[in-house]
Structure 1
Amino acid sequence: MLVVEREGSIVAVMEAMGLSSVAIRRVSRLWGKSAARNGGRTHLLLGHLLDTAAVAGVMWERYLSVAFRRRLDEVSGGRGKLWFMWVCGIHDCGKACPAFQALDAVEAGPVLASGLVWGRLPRDRRKQWRHDVAGAALLKPRLVAEWGCEESAGWVWPLVAGHHGAFPSVRGLQPPHREVQGRGADWEEAQRAVVDVFTCAVGFEDLADVRPVGALRKAEQLALSGLIVMADWIASDSSQFPGLGEAALVSLAGSRGRAEAAWGRLGLRGGWQGLPLPGDRMGPLTGRLGVSPRASQRELLERAWSVPAPGLFVVEAPMGEGKTKAALAAAEVLAARFGLDGVFVAMPSQATSDPMYEQVLRWVRSFDPVFESHVALLHGRRRFNAWWRAIWEGKPRPDGDRCVREPGSGSGVGFGVEDYGAIDEDADYGLGPAEVPAGCVSAEGDGPAHWFLGNKRGLLTAFAVGTVDHLLYAATRTRHVMLRFAGLAGKVVVIDEVHAADVYMRQFLVEALRWLGQAGVPVVMLSATLAPAQRQLYVDAYLSGVLGVADVREVVPEPAGYPCVTVACGVEGRAVVETSREAVSSWRGSVPVELAWLPDVDPAGARVADAVWDCVADGGVVLVVVNQVTRAQRIFEALRERGLGGDVHLLHARLCAADRADRTAECLRLMGPDAGGERPDRMVVVATQLAEQSFDVDADVLVTDLAPADLLLQRIGRLHRHSGTRRPGAHRVPRVLVTGVEAGREGVPEFLWASRAIYGAWSLLRAAALVTEAAGPLEGGGGRGAALEEPGGWSVPADVPGLVARAYGEEAVCPGGWGEAEAWRQWQAKERGRMDEAGKFLLCRPREWAFPTLEGLHYAGSRAATEEELDAVVRDGESGVEVVVVRRVAVGYRAVDGTWLGVHGEVDDDEVTDRLLGGMLRLPSSLTEAARGGLRPLPGWSGRPWLRYLPALVLEQEGSVLLGRDRVSYDGDLGLVVERQ
């Protein structure tokens, strides 16, 4: 009888359970969403619990990966879907307490009238009783008593306590005041009834029947917690789930229908949902990516086919080897073998994310064209990516095809800027409510799911490309970290240019690897210049997660050659680490690269400009990479003064978004792999570290400031990169001029101040020593930077792994008298300090890594909410403020490109918004304090979601503004110019 009644109203379920009429009346009055915050309609507590459970049921069928469904089946005794629905729905049971029911006086009236009363509640916010913690407090003792197992209860109650973004310790389950949780038999009966009625309505016989037969690992618990939050947020959308104020209207069947409809309207979907194994072992490369496999690509793909369990793959191969395509092919194999549902590709920067996004778009289309609209681009300037705009905002496609959108689906422009992951009741605890713009829904089945554009939700899309920061955010002790981690679990994670992480960021990367290893997430790490110590560090971190042990040291075998692939996984509780046992040949042979010194520590770089002028006297393409923006600007100006004019291009991070995108595209068009006949006879690109990696250009000559050896080799990777490129006869051999350094007293190198500040003396000294071995003593550098009379150099890529190993090894490499030992001590002290600073924000403290549950995870955690604040957490030091450059004119304002804005900066339409946002840039960190103290959005931006929180850098009519002690201007050629007054 009870089974039949479960399909009826919740009242019928309560009657079938034998609840008294008084208990039924009381439970039927408990509210979950107030009319004031729910579109004008009250929603009963049991209604919201069933809505959330129903959403979870849809997620099980259409969103969860095969691997995660399998794990939930294992711990629930084969009832994974039912158990998932229960654990998602039970999250808000703590609303059945006076602290919550009294929050709205109108909603509290019927509750009081039913006989559920309360005394005086504390007004002190420090004594407020949050309903997430209240739910854990009332559920935990029942789970212990009725499951008869402290261990099972111990990992389940934190899932309830943490559903608003932070996991408290067990000590936090003690109410600060007796009245807030509810005193007396009436409240105890009502609270028990809420749990029991929901449990039976979902499909269990009673609470004891819910007991799991096993336990998820801590990382799996974190992923599950994120999925609970996802289900809750979807079910909390009043536009999709209008309130039901009468218990007779509430039923599981009704909630199922509402959930199905909401899922379709929101356009939500998972990824592969069970990807079949490729029929051909090399098919993911040859068929899907159209690649004729190189030896290194075959090596990775074979490893993906043979690895016995999800694991870590560290791929080391030269620049231009095709590592990313091989990684995507491996991701397909790993997903098919282990039941994963999608991919996240992490890139070192916004600039490198855009071309990878377009590559992943082409890749996912080969599985199913519909996947194109389910690829997220995760960085703050995605609005300027033409493909992103075409797919997510209905703009014209880059290839000229119009992107068709359903009427009423909205532009997508206004979504997500002010939504920091809060839902309505969070406002009761001092957090802003979510604002979901009307119309941000997709055509069912084939449109982009704008729900995923909300803050903290991007990784929940099936396929995502973005900066590595988004991976690092998932390893921070911050609110809603579980939502970010849930977006990684169930995917294959690819991390490109992994060597780019400095020691501070590396702490978060190591922490992320621990959690990913424990969650069974395959990770593919790519680098051309990875130090052996870093390889060992990453392997140990991943295995620490797999084995659930705080400290792991599993010696990584020395690779047989370069390229190479190292694989680490766990099999039957033991670690397995293998590396390429036979030398794998690179797709092209090593070539000699000539190195010569160009001594110069003048920030103006006049000598560099002279050398570049000489290099292009008879034609050629020269790439200049320097370590400071102002140095790049001055070299650029000097070259223009010498007559290069339009043949010289400037690229750095202080260009407005539109200018930077245009210039990057122009450099790729003229120097990229598809340049062909458009490659100019003469061209110079002056750039900062932006050109160091994932910048697929081909230069004849490289002029570079000295940098640590691995980064220097990355810059050299831009030389003679593409086969078949026509070059002047003088540039048939790749040549590097190393500058930014000169010989000081007794021949000890002296460095540019900026280089020393960025990289430290130790790594620069060792790089200088390695260059000296090839180019000769620093004093021997020719003034014109010509080739040495007896050329010396490196063989690239053959010498790369040895050079990197020596640069970061323990053996001394510098000549006596250079002060290497003291520089090492200073460097170590600074690195330890940075590691300690990062440790304050890591998701789990080392001593707590082996703890089996999430209890207390957020003790003393960071409260960073916005991505700007998170940037400061995962990157060492305060990040610069992002601003929009505008110009004040006599009667109002203009965008940096001259577009009229209005008297108060008013923006009339999306096109003007686009032009205005083309003036976005990030100020240098030296201006952060002054910017935060003095810059605000323009008054006319208050009604524009993309603008209302962006500060304006208003250039006065003379073209500049005083910001603190600096005069700041924006030059159309130079970009942001900062002059100390």
Structure 2
Amino acid sequence: MNSGKGALLADLAWAKSGDGSGYLSVRQHLEDAHGVSCYVWDRFVAPSAKRCLAELTGLAVGDVRRLVRFVSGAHDLGKLTKGFQGKLSRDPQYDWLLSSIESAGYQLEQGPLECQAGFFPHALASAVIVADWLKAQGVKPRVARSIARIVEAHHGVPAGAQWWGQAQDVLCEYPAAWIAGQKELLGYVAELSEFEQLLPRLHKKLPIPAVQLITGMVIMSDWIASNIRYFPLTASGFGGQGRLAQGLERWQVASPWDARHTLLADAAEYFHQAFAWPPGRLPRAVQQAAFSASCQEEAGPMLLVIEAPTGEGKTEAALAAAHQCAASGGAHGVIFAAPTMATANALFSRVTDWAKRVVPGGSQAAVYLAHSKNNLVERYREFKFVGIGGDGQANGDEGTVVAMEWFAGPKTGLLANFSVATVDQVLMLALQTKHSMLRHLALAGKVVIIDEVHAYDSFTSEYLATTLEWLGMYQVPVILLSATLPEDKKQKFMAAYWAAHGGQQWKPQSDAYPLITVGERSGVKELEIPPGPMQIRVEVELLAEDSSALVELLGRHLVAGGTALVVCNTIRRAQDTFRELLAAFPGEVELFHSSFIAAHRVAKEERMVEELGPQSLAQGTRPYRKIYVATQVVEQSLDIDVDLLVSDMAPIDSLIQRVGRLWRHTFSGPDRLGPEVPRLFIRGLLSWDGVPVFDGGAAAVYDPLVLLASTRVVLEEWIPKGFERPAAVAPLVRETYAAVERASVADAPPGWQTRWQEAVEESLRQRAVSRRRSETFRIPSPHVEDYGALFARFLDKKQTASQREEAAIAQVRDAEPSIEVIPIVSGEYGYALWGSDSAYIMEDETLSYPASLSFASATVRLPARMTRFASTFDAVVTQLESETPVGWQFSPLLRQSLALRLDEDSTAVLAGFRVTYSAELGLEVEKAHD
């Protein structure tokens, strides 16, 4: 410990106060944070991220390390201020600590400017002190300010440029002893971090992407160093010898994943080992091509777009390609993003099984399931106990993957080696959110895979484009998976990714399908993949918009057995269709949509895959005759095969996805019941003589121009010629969306001109509105000069932090506000979970963990029409809150939940709506009538 009056300030001033039994001095906490930052840089930050930072800053990798150490060690320097130290004056148990500061000559009475300052947080004080010190060392003001921004934002958001002048004025009136103490500590940190060696080379202002990544490292180091389980408080305020090593040992940290150790050069050998394939199984053409295309001789950014039909093994292809990219580029992990929680849950087991085989034996890697309901997923919960009592230990060939405590939080989870996430978690990279720098740091050291890209609308695509622009700046390899992708979107995504590197002047050329598009520094190339063996021609017919026509059709084609899938565009239409078909085919119809209780939805999905999956014939689980009525949820990631398909009219790529469930597997001969050839019947057209007229559901859900252009293809191509799968997929998608992009009445068939022009105008209006709305919370490009622009909504003091956070998160997808509820049934002796046989529970009773888990797994989302407007939203929430059992507030799993209280007939009147729940139909909502 240094002596002298100036030096004593950092030794006496508190940084962490605890409960009065101990504290940490500012000097000790900054020593801890500095030491942790060394470990974070050396062990956690991926070589790819280090290389990127060196290029962004123009510094050598070793100099970037010095910079990270310096700002980590200086981040809480602003706690050497009277305002911060005086916070303990309200608590008598700390009088001795404040007295020791004052007795050393450091008066705590604030000057006039500090008393009047309405906003003077210690992070801003740290930034001003650091900037002034740097300028005194000869660093240019712009460069000094860019470095100081890092410490200013270490609580997740910068203070804002408008407060700098006031903070400087406050600090200028400080007594000489305080200023000397601040300078002494900063000089000590500079010496500790070897930062003084870097000072002569600080000529360039730090670009914003570098500020984001380094701030993420500072926050990570600070959070670890501030955890008293790792770095405990002490009576003296200082730790003993070995404190850093002991603290890091307590912090359960994963091993860095070195992908080179388990990568095999031969594709067939790799797939057998990484996915535990049986002998004799060979990679499909798509998998072989993806594995080869992702092998880079020189580390650098890469965007890989894999377009292939479902069933071609895109998931395994993407993971193999990610392994290649990680090995060549030095990434430390993989993030796999799926469109929904259900698809993420299904992927989690596949990805973690792969991760165990590609993590070297004896190593341990962290895994994370990134969505708000991960604790309800049994497979994820199991990983929290891996290694306890000897379970789950790695054998000689496989590593261990575990859900580690520190990597299990919503803001730290993506920092784990391997994550499976809903796509929102990746798109939030482009969102103005607090602590966004942790998300940037997490993704910057990974390979990012984004699944089902075709499913994202224009609003979400804007976020995806901005996300790709930032990932491109960070040189993160990205793999996009899609059944089909319109060429304008593919071109847009490729341009966004390469914008930070001078752009790629490229236009899609190939109509091949499957297709892999590879974007590298040298240019973009398209790899045409030979189609798989399942080539089929689907006969397509229109079906009258009449329930009797549907009943007659199914009865005729399934008279000798078979399975049929009827896809509807809305839940209400699916429920109505189910009722009509159930009356005609009692006991042979099942409904599948998103408005079932979560647990019921999972059970229905599992049953559908069991009955219609690739092993259904071999296992004897395929029904003799059954009709499945579903919504668009069947378009994504369900490996099912039906004998007959009926679908509402939809955009061409959605129709193709639905057709992907028709004759998907290699059943043949007597095993294939139903029609002798694959058949698709399209309904949902109220009229197709002349200009098509769509039912209200399709018109409400889809872009009108996309619907018209898709209908033209169906009427002109599919009806007369049939649909060749997969040969016709790419040309038809390209043709349809080229017409949508042209937005010209010249593309209209004869007689459609007026309706086409109306659709063009409405489509352009909707797209413009989507783009404008997406800009509200979306961050600017990585070339932005103002760091505050990444947090503009948080610097608006008119809103509370929670209001800004909630509003921003809602903007990742273009969805109307909706509310999730847990249906319960009231009775004379309390309440019970809907459909449960358990005893009734008293209103104020605290639930056990198993009971809480059952309730938390029974959520269902109210339809948006109930909460579309602020007035109805408030009325719905107010009533739900008043009817939620009081005991739920004592359960961590249920504390934030709302109950939908049903009567004994499973019905409730909620804010003017009649809500009913049943096992057959799910949630039904209609306006209540007096």
Shift of 1:179: 4.1
Going from structure 1 to structure 2, the CA distance change for 1:232 and 1:661 (only over 3 Å counts) comes to same
SS at match of 2:710: helix
- Match of 1:948, SS state, is coil
Q: 2 CA distance for matches of 1:52 and 1:797?
A: 56
C-alpha distance in structure 2 between counterparts of 1:370 and 1:964, whole Å:
58
The answer to whether the aligner puts 1:26 opposite 2:9 as a matched pair is yes
| SS of residue matched to 2:901 | strand
Which of 866, 878, 884 is the equivalent residue of 2:822? 884
Matched, 1:280 2:268: no
1:615 is aligned to 2:557 = yes
Asked if 1 retains the 8 angstrom alpha-carbon contact of 2:823 and 2:900, the reply is yes
Match of 2:860 in 1: 921
1:66/1:274 contact within 8 Å kept: no
2:473 matched to 1:518? yes
- Tell me the residue number matched to 1:47: 28
**Structure 1 residue 903 displacement after superposition:** 1.0
1:897 to partner: Cα distance: 2.9
Q: 2:535 corresponds to which residue? A: 590
Contact 1:871–1:879 (8 Å) recurs in 2: no
Measure, in 2, the Cα distance between the counterparts of 1:690 and 1:758: 14
Partner of 1:18: none
Show CA shifts across 1:308-331 (max 9, x none): 422111111222221121111010
Name the residue aligned to 2:749: 815
What does residue 261 of structure 1 align with?
Answer: 249
In the alignment, structure 1 residue 894 sits paired with structure 2 residue 832: yes
Counterpart-to-counterpart distance in 1, 2:803 and 2:320: 35
Cα distance in structure 2, aligned partners of 1:295 and 1:343: 23
| Corresponding residue of 2:713 | 770
Shift, 1:905, TM fit = 5.7
Once residues 215 and 122 of structure 1 are traced to their aligned partners in structure 2, the CA distance between those partners, rounded to angstroms, is 31
Query: Do the aligned partners of residues 322 and 946 (structure 1) sit closer, same or farther apart at CA in structure 2, a change above 3 Å counting?
Result: same
Residue 673 (structure 1) aligned to one of 611, 614, 618: 614
Corresponding residue SS for 1:288: helix
Give a deviation string over 1:210-267, Cα, whole Å, max 9, x none. Answer: 96587765334322222221221122222322213535x346x54412432322xxx2
Mapped contact 1:196–1:207 kept (Cα < 8 A): no
Q: State how far apart, in whole Å, the 2-side matches of 1:155 and 1:609 are.
A: 69
- In structure 2, the partner of 1:451 is 406
Does residue 116 of the first structure (1) align with residue 106 of the second (2)?
Answer: yes
Aligned to 1:436: none
Residues 97 and 182, structure 1, Cα contact 8 Å, conserved in 2:
no
Q: Indicate how the Cα distance of structure 1 residues 245 and 155 shifts in structure 2: closer, same or farther if over 3 A, else same.
A: farther
CA separation of 1:801 and 1:152: change in aligned 2, threshold 3 A = same
Question: Is the 1:49–1:92 Cα contact (8 Å) retained in structure 2?
Answer: yes
Query: What SS class does the counterpart of residue 750 from structure 2 fall into?
Result: coil
Spell out the pairing of 1:205-354 with structure 2 (5 A cutoff). 206=196, 209=199, 218-246=208-236, 249-250=238-239, 254-263=242-251, 267-273=252-258, 275-276=260-261, 278-282=263-267, 283-289=269-275, 290=277, 292-306=282-296, 308=298, 309-354=300-345
1:897-942: CA deviation from partner (whole Å, max 9, x where unpaired): 3233521163432221222123211211122314323212420112
Q: For structure 2, which runs of at least 5 residues remain unmatched after alignment?
A: 393-398, 868-872
Q: Which moved more, 1:21-30 or 1:202-211?
A: 202-211
Q: Please show how residues 900-939 of structure 1 align to structure 2 within 5 Å.
A: 900=839, 902-904=841-843, 906-928=845-867, 929=873, 930-936=875-881, 937-939=884-886
Cα displacement string for residues 855-903 of structure 1 (whole angstroms, at most 9, x for unaligned residues)? 5532235856798655411111433111111111111110123233521
Alpha-carbon RMSD across the aligned residues, in angstroms, is 2.9
TM-score under structure 1 length normalisation: 0.84
Question: C-alpha distance in 2, partners of 1:148/1:85?
Answer: 18
Deviation at 1:268, TM superposition (A): 2.3
> Structure 1: how far apart are the matches of 2:913 and 2:901?
14
Equivalent of 1:687, from 611, 624, 630?
A: 630
CA gap 1:869/1:858 in 2 versus in 1, 3 angstroms:
closer
Query: Could you say if the C-alpha distance between residues 774 and 111 of structure 1 is closer, same or farther in structure 2, counting changes exceeding 3 Å?
Result: same
Q: How does 1:959-974 map to 2 (within 5 A)?
A: 959-974=906-921
Match of 1:850 in 2: 783
Which AA in structure 1 matches 2:524? V
- What is the match of residue 530 of structure 1? 485
Q: Tell me the alpha carbon deviations over residues 550-592 of structure 1, each in whole angstroms, 9 at most, x when there is no partner.
A: xx46223412622222222336xxxx22222xx3201225311
1:87-486 alignment, distance < 5 Å:
87-105=71-89, 106=94, 108-117=98-107, 118-119=109-110, 127-150=118-141, 152-175=143-166, 178-179=169-170, 183-200=174-191, 202-204=192-194, 206=196, 209=199, 218-246=208-236, 249-250=238-239, 254-263=242-251, 267-273=252-258, 275-276=260-261, 278-282=263-267, 283-289=269-275, 290=277, 292-306=282-296, 308=298, 309-368=300-359, 374-392=366-384, 394=385, 405=388, 447-486=402-441
Query: In structure 2, what is the Cα distance between the partners aligned to 1:670 and 1:867?
Result: 43
| Aligned-pair CA distance for 1:119 | 2.4
Q: 1:355 to 1:124 in 2, by over 3 A?
A: farther
1:129–1:180 contact (8 Å) kept in structure 2: no
Distance in 1 (alpha carbons) for counterparts of 2:206 and 2:263: 30
Residue 555 (structure 1) aligned with residue 506 (structure 2): yes
**Which residue identity does 2:184 align to in structure 1?**
A
User: Hey, what does 2:595 align to over in structure 1?
Assistant: 654
Alpha-carbon distance in 1 for matches of 2:499, 2:117: 38
Q: Which residue of the partner structure matches residue 526 of structure 2?
A: 579
Q: Would you say the 8 A contact 2:589–2:627 is kept in 1?
A: yes
Q: Find the aligned partners of 1:99 and 1:348 in 2 and give their Cα distance.
A: 47
Q: Is the 8 A contact 2:114 2:170 kept in 1?
A: no
Please tell me whether residue 626 in structure 1 is matched to residue 568 in structure 2.
yes
Structure 1 counterpart of 2:406, one-letter code: W
Does the 8 Å CA contact 1:99/1:180 hold for their aligned counterparts?
no
SS of the residue corresponding to residue 147 of structure 2 reads helix
Q: Return closer, same or farther for 1:659/1:23 CA change in 2, 3 Å cut-off.
A: same
What is the deviation of 1:62?
Answer: 3.0
CA drift of 1:669 comes to: 1.0
% identity of equivalent residues: 29
Shift of 1:148: 2.7
Q: Please say if 1:829 is aligned against 2:758.
A: no
Is contact 1:119-1:179 (8 Å) kept? Answer: no
C-alpha change, 1:666 and 1:216, in structure 2 (3 Å) is farther
| Kept after mapping to 2: 8 A contact 1:147/1:153 | no
In the alignment, residue 918 of structure 2 is paired with which amino acid? D
Deviations 1:764-800 (A, max 9, x none): 1111111111354xxxxxxxxxxxxxx7411011111
**Any conservation in 1 of the 2:75–2:123 contact (CA below 8 Å)?**
yes
In 1, the alpha carbon distance for the partners of 2:553 and 2:171 equals 76
Deviates more, 1:307-316 or 1:227-236: 307-316
Unpaired runs of at least 5, structure 1:
1-10, 16-20, 395-402, 410-443, 777-790
8 Å CA contact retained: 1:633, 1:650: yes
Query: What CA distance in whole angstroms lies between the structure 1 residues aligned with 2:195 and 2:775?
Result: 46
